[in-house]
């Protein structure tokens, strides 16, 4: 949620900035008008309450005739206060409905544009290997090795599911251990969070209302399956005041994630590139506002270290403003080379959400005698499914086998 005080002070700057995210200025006008009406009615209520308090002290000192007049006046004042409070309740509801739709303004370093084509490639790392023989995609490779079974998964669960089997399972757990070891060495606390959360956690992280269509809800309950462990990790300190000296507080969450993929009908239907259920290791950081951009670069460096260690060719992309999600002020994508598709595709990303999430979740830190909102950041350390695909396709051999990256061999086959 944006800072209404800052918005009130400079609404035109917000209109320009949020216009880069394709947010409609007329909603900001409605928000400003509703905020002004709310504050005007609140001022009226405060004036009437002040009058009521003053008169209440004077009544015992007055004559009986004057007392009756003052008591009658207080009845009118009480009625006015009651009417204003009813108005304030409605205005507050309207204000909140409008405010929760407003995304986080993009940082000035974010490129303009409304699609992924407008994003800026910052650098390439590694060169796609020249593969001998016919290049196969992950599904042909996986079926040939008995690692992936989408046909039986479709029978069991429907489309966009897969059974992982044999060494694919060993490879998944090796990737998890590889990522967690690197993160733990850099101060991240390993966490296995709940995968079912309440609506407040979804709202607090900004997934509601913007991405509600992507989330699975348990029928008849205030319970939702997470699409990323960013949600329960952000909510870990919901409503808390953190020790400023303990910042940054970094967590590495491993979880299974669930997404409807409602907006991707007909896209990436082959294999397990875009599925309803997947595992990943997610980084999350609560940090001091003065350090959040430095922290953002640090999360990016961790993602690059992990990918470089695996030997995967990739590129770093600064995502365009119009392609950012609601909570992010800036986001980097790391896109790996997928030989089976002949192009770079998103593998991991990391975002700085500044104080957008902490304002919703009321997460502050103590600095001297005062408290301030923390900044929150998130980044994917390893998206297991897509990383499996990238390894299979980039390290495929002419005989259909897969060469395992050296860093994973001792984790897959210990001893």
- Report DSSP state, residue 239: T
What is the rounded distance in angstroms from the CA atom of residue 140 to the CA atom of residue 412? 22
Banded model confidence at residue 380, pLDDT cuts 50, 70, 90: very high
Banded model confidence at residue 263, pLDDT cuts 50, 70, 90: low
pLDDT of 132 > 90? The answer is: no
Instruction: Look over the chain and give the mean of its residue pLDDT values, rounded to a whole number.
Output: 94
Residue 181 host element (H or E):
helix 167-184
pLDDT of 373 > 80? The answer is: yes
Banded model confidence at residue 264, pLDDT cuts 50, 70, 90: low
Q: What is the pLDDT of residue 62?
A: 78
Active-site residue list: 259, 274, 346, 349, 386
Q: What is the pLDDT of residue 261?
A: 86
Q: Which domains does the chain have, with CATH numbers?
A: 4-99 (1.10.287.40), 116-412 (3.30.930.10)
Banded model confidence at residue 226, pLDDT cuts 50, 70, 90: very high
Sign of the torsion formed by the C-alpha atoms of 317, 321, 324 and 330: positive
Coil, strand or helix at 75: helix
Q: How far is CA 217 from CA 46, 208, 223, 258, 373, in A?
A: 42, 12, 6, 10, 30
Q: What is the pLDDT of residue 278?
A: 97
- pLDDT above 70 covers what percent of the chain? 99
Banded model confidence at residue 90, pLDDT cuts 50, 70, 90: very high
Average pLDDT over residues 111-127: 94
Q: How far is CA 400 from CA 137, 294, 386, in A?
A: 11, 43, 19
Q: What is the pLDDT of residue 148?
A: 97
DSSP string, 34-68: HHHHHHHHHHHHHHHHHHHHHHHHHGGGS-HHHHH
CA-CA-CA-CA torsion for 103, 105, 110, 113, nearest 10 degrees? 60
Percentage helix, strand, coil, to 5, in the chain?
A: 45, 20, 30
Average pLDDT over residues 232-239: 98
Average pLDDT over residues 133-147: 94
pLDDT of 211 > 80? The answer is: yes
Q: How far is CA 239 from CA 228, 234, 247, 327, 361, in A?
A: 21, 11, 16, 18, 6
CA-CA-CA-CA torsion for 398, 402, 406, 410, nearest 10 degrees? -140
DSSP string, 85-120: HHHHHHHHHHHHHHHTTPPPPPPTTSPP-SSGGGSE
Q: What is the pLDDT of residue 22?
A: 93
Average pLDDT over residues 172-185: 98
- pLDDT above 90 covers what percent of the chain? 85
What are the φ/ψ torsions at residue 232 (nearest 5 degrees)? -70, -25
Q: What is the pLDDT of residue 258?
A: 97
Q: Sheet with 375-383: list strands edge to edge.
A: 120-125, 314-318, 330-338, 343-352, 375-383, 277-287, 249-258, 188-191
| Rg, the chain, Cα only | 27
Q: What is the pLDDT of residue 76?
A: 86
182-200 residue pLDDT tens: 999 999 999 999 999 999 9
Average pLDDT over residues 341-364: 97
Q: Are 361 and 204 in contact (CB under 8 A)?
A: yes
Q: Which of 152-166, 168-182, 266-280, 314-328 shows the lowest mean pLDDT across its residues?
A: 266-280
Chain center to CA of 390: 24
Average pLDDT over residues 20-32: 94
- Name the burial class of residue 80, with classes exposed (0-12), middle (13-18) and buried (19+) by CB atoms within 10 angstroms of its CB: middle
What is the rounded distance in angstroms from the CA atom of residue 271 to the CA atom of residue 276? 12
| Its pTM surpasses 0.85 | yes
Average pLDDT over residues 106-127: 94
Coil, strand or helix at 415: coil
Q: What is the pLDDT of residue 414?
A: 83
Q: How many CB atoms lie within 10 A of CB 263?
A: 10
């Amino acid at each position: 949620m944006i800072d209404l005080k800052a918005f009130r002070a400079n609404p035109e700057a917000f209109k320009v900035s949020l216009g880069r995210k394709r947010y409609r200025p007329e909603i900001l006008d409605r928000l400003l008008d509703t905020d002004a009406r709310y504050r005007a009615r609140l001022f009226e209520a405060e004036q009437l309450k002040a009058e009521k308090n003053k008169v209440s002290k004077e009544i015992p000192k007055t004559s009986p005739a004057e007392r009756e007049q003052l008591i009658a006046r207080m009845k009118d004042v009480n009625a006015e206060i009651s009417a204003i409070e009813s108005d304030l309740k409605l205005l507050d509801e309207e204000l909140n409905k409008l405010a929760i739709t407003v995304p986080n303004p993009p940082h000035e370093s974010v490129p303009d544009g409304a699609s992924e084509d407008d994003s800026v490639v910052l650098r390439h790392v590694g060169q796609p290997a020249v593969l001998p023989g016919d290049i196969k995609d992950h599904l042909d490779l996986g079926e040939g090795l008995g690692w992936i079974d989408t046909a039986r998964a479709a029978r069991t669960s429907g489309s966009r599911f897969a059974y992982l089997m044999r060494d694919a399972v060993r490879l998944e757990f090796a990737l998890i251990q590889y990522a967690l070891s690197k993160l733990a060495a850099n101060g991240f606390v390993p966490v296995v969070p709940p995968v079912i959360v309440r609506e407040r956690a979804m709202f607090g992280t900004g997934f509601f209302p913007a991405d509600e269509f992507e989330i699975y809800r348990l029928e008849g309950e205030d319970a939702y399956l997470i699409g990323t462990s960013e949600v329960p990790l952000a909510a870990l300190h919901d409503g808390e005041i953190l020790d400023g000296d303990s910042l940054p507080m970094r967590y590495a969450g491993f979880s299974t994630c669930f997404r409807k993929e409602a907006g991707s009908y007909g896209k990436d239907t082959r294999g397990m590139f875009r599925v309803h259920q997947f595992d990943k290791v997610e980084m999350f950081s609560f940090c001091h506002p003065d350090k959040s951009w430095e922290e953002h670069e640090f999360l990016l460096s961790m993602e690059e270290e992990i990918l470089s260690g695996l030997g995967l060719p990739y590129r770093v992309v600064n995502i365009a403003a119009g392609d950012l999600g609601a909570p992010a002020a800036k986001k980097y994508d790391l896109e790996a080379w997928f030989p089976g598709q002949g192009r770079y595709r998103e593998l991991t990303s990391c975002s700085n959400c500044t104080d957008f999430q902490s304002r919703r979740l009321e997460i502050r830190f103590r600095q001297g005698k005062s408290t301030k909102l923390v900044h929150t950041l998130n980044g994917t350390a390893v998206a297991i499914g897509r990383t499996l695909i990238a390894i299979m396709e980039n390290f495929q051999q002419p005989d259909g086998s897969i060469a395992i990256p050296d860093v994973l061999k001792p984790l897959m086959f210990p001893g």
